[in-house]
C-alpha cells in the first residue's frame, strides 16, 4: 500500500511539474518583423544568449540569400528568421550552407552542422518540405537540428515515422535529401533556459 502511494505521489508530481513546462514552450508565429529591433528580438529567441549574443544576425530571402546584415558577429553562428515559416534560427557555418541548398532545391553539401531553434516551430509537413496541404504535419518544441550527410547514421538510428512524436528525438523528412535529426532541448521552466 505504502509503495502504491509513493508511486502515485511520484506520478502526480511528475505530471504536475511536466505540464507547465510544456505549456511554456513558445508558440512560434509566422511573423517576420519588418522593423529592425523587432526582427533582432525575435531572432535572439532562437538560441541561448551565449550563442546569439555574439552571432551574426541577417535577413534572408526566399532562396536563403542574405539580403541584410543587422549585426556582425564574432562566433561561428548566424541567426535569422526563416522567410517562409517565420521560425527563428541560429545556424553554424555548415548549417547556413545546408539551409541555402534546402531553400534552392540543391544537394546538401558534404558536412555536418548544428542549428539551434529554441524559439519553437510553426510546423511543416514531415514527408516533404515543399508540401502545402498540411499532411503529416509536425510542430516541434524547442530543439536543435543536426544537418548534412554527416548525420546519415544518426538519422538511421532514430524514429523515421512520417507522423513522429516531436517531443522525442526524430528524423525530419525521412528518406528525403533534406532529412535531418531533430533533438528536443526544452527544459523545466525553473531550469537554466
Give least dist CB 155 to other proteins, A. 8
Give least dist CB 180 to other proteins, A. 12
Please say whether the beta carbons of 44 and 36 come within 8 A.
no
> Which residues contact residue 147 at a Cβ distance below 8 angstroms, ignoring those fewer than 6 apart?
94, 95, 98, 108, 111, 112, 113, 114, 115, 180
Q: Which is nearer to other proteins, 63 or 69 (CB)?
A: 69
Q: 7 is written with which cell numbers?
A: 508511486
Give least dist CB 116 to other proteins, A. 9
CA atoms within 13 A on the CB side of 157: 5
**Which residue ranges make up the site for other proteins (CB under 8 A)?**
6, 9-11, 13-15, 17-18, 21-22, 37-38, 40-42, 44-45, 47-54, 74-77, 92, 94, 110-114, 118, 141, 144, 146, 148-154, 156-157, 167-169, 183-188, 190-193
Q: Which helix (H) or strand (E) holds 91?
A: strand 88-91
Give least dist CB 15 to other proteins, A. 8
Task: Please count the other Cβ atoms lying within 10 Å of the Cβ belonging to residue 6.
Answer: 10
Please say whether the beta carbons of 174 and 182 come within 8 A.
no
Give least dist CB 14 to other proteins, A. 6
Amino acid at each position: 500500500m505504502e509503495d502504491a502511494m509513493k508511486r502515485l505521489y511520484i506520478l502526480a508530481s511528475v505530471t504536475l511539474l511536466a505540464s507547465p513546462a510544456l505549456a511554456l514552450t513558445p508558440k512560434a508565429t509566422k511573423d517576420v518583423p519588418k522593423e529592425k529591433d523587432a526582427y533582432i528580438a525575435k531572432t535572439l529567441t532562437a538560441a541561448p544568449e551565449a550563442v546569439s549574443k555574439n552571432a551574426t544576425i541577417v535577413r534572408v530571402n526566399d532562396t536563403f540569400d542574405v539580403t541584410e546584415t543587422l549585426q556582425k558577429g564574432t562566433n561561428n553562428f548566424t541567426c535569422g528568421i526563416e522567410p517562409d515559416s517565420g521560425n527563428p534560427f541560429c545556424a553554424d557555418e555548415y548549417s547556413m550552407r545546408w539551409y541555402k541548398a534546402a531553400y534552392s532545391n540543391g544537394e546538401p553539401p558534404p558536412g555536418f552542422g548544428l542549428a539551434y531553434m529554441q524559439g519553437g516551430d510553426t510546423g511543416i509537413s514531415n514527408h516533404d518540405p515543399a508540401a502545402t496541404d498540411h499532411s503529416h504535419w509536425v510542430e516541434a518544441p524547442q530543439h536543435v537540428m543536426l544537418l548534412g550527410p554527416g548525420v546519415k547514421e544518426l538519422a538511421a538510428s532514430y524514429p523515421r515515422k512520417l507522423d513522429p512524436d516531436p517531443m522525442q528525438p526524430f528524423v525530419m523528412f525521412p528518406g528525403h535529401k533534406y532529412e535531418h535529426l531533430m533533438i528536443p532541448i526544452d527544459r523545466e521552466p525553473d531550469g537554466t533556459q
